């Protein structure tokens, strides 16, 4: 049976939020996004969807960049890019 919000057991507490600055979520990914700048239309849609704010539009270079220290390899950016400019690659193939 569905529980009401106040019936759900209390979970762990996260202190000193936001913690993602302190925890480099990119350390444990198995897949990694790679941008094809030839295909990128600079629409910045991917930056909105990234849950770790790991996609940044560099105003200087006018290109999308990935902060690999925080990208956790979820693949949302690749799914949301309508131009096929982001491909997910297996980390084992990057070495
Ligand atoms: S969603 Fe795709 S085309 Fe748009 S900025 Fe991101 S990588 Fe480029
Ligand atoms: S794979 Fe996930 S965490 Fe990494 S840049 Fe794309 S949306 Fe962000």
* Ligand 1 centroid, distance to 19 Cα (angstroms): 27
**Res 1 pLDDT > 90:** no
Comparing CA positions, the residue from 73, 53, 51 lying closest to residue 64 is: 53
Half-sphere exposure of 4 (CA within 13 A, CB side): 2
Per-residue pLDDT of 43-67, as tens digits, reads 999 999 998 889 999 999 999 999 9
Instruction: Identify the structural domains of the chain with CATH numbers, from first to last.
Output: 31-94 (3.30.70.20)
**Mean pLDDT value of segment 79-83:** 97
This prediction has a pTM of: 0.80
Task: Decide: 26 and 68 in contact? Cβ < 8 Å.
Answer: yes
Atom nearest to 64 CA in ligand 1 = 5
Helix (H, G, I), strand (E, B) or coil at 67: coil
The string over 27-65, giving b where at least 16 C-beta atoms fall within 10 Å of a residue's C-beta and e elsewhere, is eebebbbebeeeebeeeeebeeebebebbeeeeeeeebe
Atom nearest to 47 CA in ligand 1 = 6
pLDDT band at 31 (very low <50, low <70, confident <90, very high): very high
């Amino acid at each position: 049976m569905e529980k009401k919000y106040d019936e759900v057991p209390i979970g762990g507490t996260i202190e000193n939020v936001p913690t993602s600055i302190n925890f480099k979520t990119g350390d444990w990914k198995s897949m990694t996004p790679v941008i094809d700048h030839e295909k990128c239309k600079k629409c910045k849609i991917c930056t909105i969807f990234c849950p770790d704010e790991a996609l940044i539009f560099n105003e200087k270079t006018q290109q999308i960049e990935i902060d690999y220290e925080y990208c956790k390899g979820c693949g949302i950016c690749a799914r949301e890019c309508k131009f096929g400019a982001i491909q997910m690659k297996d980390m084992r193939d990057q070495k």
